[in-house]
Amino acid sequence: MLTIWTYDWIPGGDKGPRGFVRDLRLRWACEEAKLDYVVKSTSFEDRGPDHFKRQPFGQIPFLEDGGITIFESGACLLYLANKSEVLMPRDKADAAETLQWTVAALNSFEMISVPWFFLGGSKKPDNPLSDWLEKRLGHIEGVLQDREWIAAAQFTVADIIMADVLRQTRAAGMPLRPIIQDYVHRICARPAFEKAYADQVAHFTAADKARSS
Amino acid sequence: MLTIWTYDWIPGGDKGPRGFVRDLRLRWACEEAKLDYVVKSTSFEDRGPDHFKRQPFGQIPFLEDGGITIFESGACLLYLANKSEVLMPRDKADAAETLQWTVAALNSFEMISVPWFFLGGSKKPDNPLSDWLEKRLGHIEGVLQDREWIAAAQFTVADIIMADVLRQTRAAGMPLRPIIQDYVHRICARPAFEKAYADQVAHFTAADKARSS
C-alpha cells in the first residue's frame, strides 16, 4: 500500500493552488496504474523537523512505500513508473523516451514556467522570463504537431507531468497555442486525472469545514 | 559504444561556458562507470532540422546508444545509471534516494539557479530570485551537514548533478556556504570529473585552432 503525503490544508481561492498542488501528479499516476494508495496529511502551517526530515525543502508531496520514502514529484512519478507499464513501457527505446520527456517537463519547461509564475506570471507585463517561456512553448508545439502523446506513442507518466506543467502555466495566464491546448485538454480528459483532481479539491474543502467547526 | 553529442565549438572567455557545458555531466558519468564512449559534435552556429529532431529545444547534450537517442542531461544520467551500480546502487531504497536527489538537483535547485543566472546572477544586485536561491542553499546545507554524499551513503549520479549545479551557481557569483563548498570540492576532486572537465576544455580549444587556421 502506497501513502501519498500532502498538506492538511491550503488556502482556497479562485485560481488555486487547490487543484494544482503536486500531490495530484501522484494521485493521477496511481489512478492510471490502479495502484492502491491512501492519502495522508502533514501540517501546512506548522512544518516541523519531522516534515523537513522527509522533505528537506519543507514541501509536499512525498511518497511512502513500505520502508521507502521518496520526495520530488518528478522522482515519485518515475518511481511509480517502475511499478507499471501503464506509466512507462518496458521496451528500452520507449522507456528512454518516457524518461527523457519526464525530465524535459521538469528541467526544460517547469524550470522556466515556475520562476515565471513566481515573478508574477502574465500579471507582470514586463516579466523577464516571458520570452523564454514563449520560445519553449514554440518548441513543444512543434513536437506535439504530429503526435497524440508526448513520448513512446502511448500514454505515459511523461504526459502526466507535461500536461500538468502546461495547465499550471495556462492558469498563470499564459495562453497556450491551439495544438498545445488540444493536447492538455486530451490528457486531462482522462478519468484518472478527473478523479485525482476532484479528490484533491475535496481533501482541502473538507479541511475548510473542519477548521470552521 | 555510447556517443555523447555536444557542440562543435562555443565562445571562449574567462568564466565559461567552457568547463560548464552539460556534456560534462555525461562524460563524467561514463568516466566514473568506465563505460566506453566517443564524443561527436553538432554545429553551435547552425542548428538545423536534424539537430532539432534529436533535441527539440536546439540544445545539447544528447546521447546515442545503439538505436536509442536520448536528450536532457538529467535523463541521460538516469539512463546511464541503469548501466552501472557505480552510478546508482541496486538496493531499492538507495536507488529511490539517488533518483530523488537527482530530480531535486534538477527541479528544486536548478529550477531556481538557472533562471537566477539568466536574470544576471550576482551581477544584478536586486536579482528577484536571489532570496529564493539562498533559501534553497540553506536547506541543502542542512542536508549536507552530516553526510559525505548527497544520497545513499555513497557516490552516485546524484552527486554528479548536484555538484555540477552548485559549482555553476558559484561560478555565477553566489558564494557557497562552507559545508556546501567542501562538498563541491570533494566531489569535483574525483579523477573522473577532472578528466571530463579537461576533455571538454580541450574539445573547444581544439575547435578554436581549427577555426583560426
Helix (H) or strand (E) holding A111: helix A110-118
pLDDT of residue A212: 87
Nearest CA in chain A to B75: A100
CB of B91 less than 8 A from some CB of A: no
pTM > 0.90: yes or no: yes
CB of B102 less than 8 A from some CB of A: yes
Superfamily of domain A2-85+192-206: Glutaredoxin (3.40.30.10)
User: What's the mean per-residue pLDDT of chain B?
Assistant: 96
CB of A52 less than 8 A from some CB of B: yes
Cis peptide before B175 (omega within 30 of 0): no
pLDDT band at B16 (very low <50, low <70, confident <90, very high): low
Structure confidence by residue, pLDDT tens digits, A143-200: 999 999 999 999 999 999 999 999 999 999 999 999 999 999 999 999 999 999 999 9
- In chain A, the largest separation of any two C-alpha atoms, in whole Å, equals 54
Pick the CATH number of A92-189 from 3.30.910.20, 1.10.150.130, 1.10.3720.10, 1.20.1050.10: 1.20.1050.10
Query: Average of pLDDT values for B171-179?
Result: 96
- Residue A16 cell numbers, joined: 488555486
Average pLDDT per consecutive 10 residues, chain A (213 residues; last block may be shorter): 96 81 98 98 95 96 97 98 98 98 98 98 96 98 97 98 98 96 98 98 94 85
pLDDT of residue B13: 76
Write down the ipTM of this complex: 0.97
Which of A22, A83, A103, A131 is most worth mutating to test chain B (most B CB atoms within 10 A of its CB)?
Answer: A103
Report d(CA B168, CA B165) in Å as an integer: 5
Q: How many CB pairs under 8 A join A and B?
A: 113
Q: For residues A21 and A40, is the Cβ–Cβ distance under 8 A?
A: no
Contact A102 B143 (CB under 8 A): no
- Residue B196 cell numbers, joined: 571530463
Closest-CA residue to A71 (of A58, A86, A84, A88): A58
Domains B2-85+192-207 and B92-189 share a fold: no
B78: nearest CB among A72, A99, A108: A99
The number of C-alpha atoms within 13 Å of B141 and in the hemisphere containing its C-beta is 12
Q: Is the pLDDT of residue B200 over 70?
A: yes
Chain B nearest-CA distance from A20, in A, is 17
A111: nearest CB among B56, B92, B110: B110
Pick the CATH number of B2-85+192-207 from 3.20.80.10, 3.40.30.10, 3.40.190.80, 3.30.2130.30: 3.40.30.10
Instruction: Kindly list the domain boundaries of chain A, sorted by start residue.
Output: 2-85+192-206, 92-189
CA dihedral B160, A152, A135, B46 (to 10 degrees): 80
CB of B48 less than 8 A from some CB of A: no
CA dihedral A52, A55, A60, A66 (to 10 degrees): -120
pLDDT band at B14 (very low <50, low <70, confident <90, very high): low
Structure confidence by residue, pLDDT tens digits, B84-124: 999 999 999 999 999 999 999 999 999 999 999 999 999 99
A56: nearest CB among B52, B57, B143: B143
- For residue B87, count other CB atoms closer than 10 A to its CB: 24
The one-letter code for the residue type at A145 is Q
Find chain B residues with C-beta within 8 A of A2's C-beta: none
Contact B56 A129 (CB under 8 A): no
CB of B164 less than 8 A from some CB of A: no
Angstrom CA distances, A177 to A7, A71, B1, B18, stand at 33, 32, 40, 36
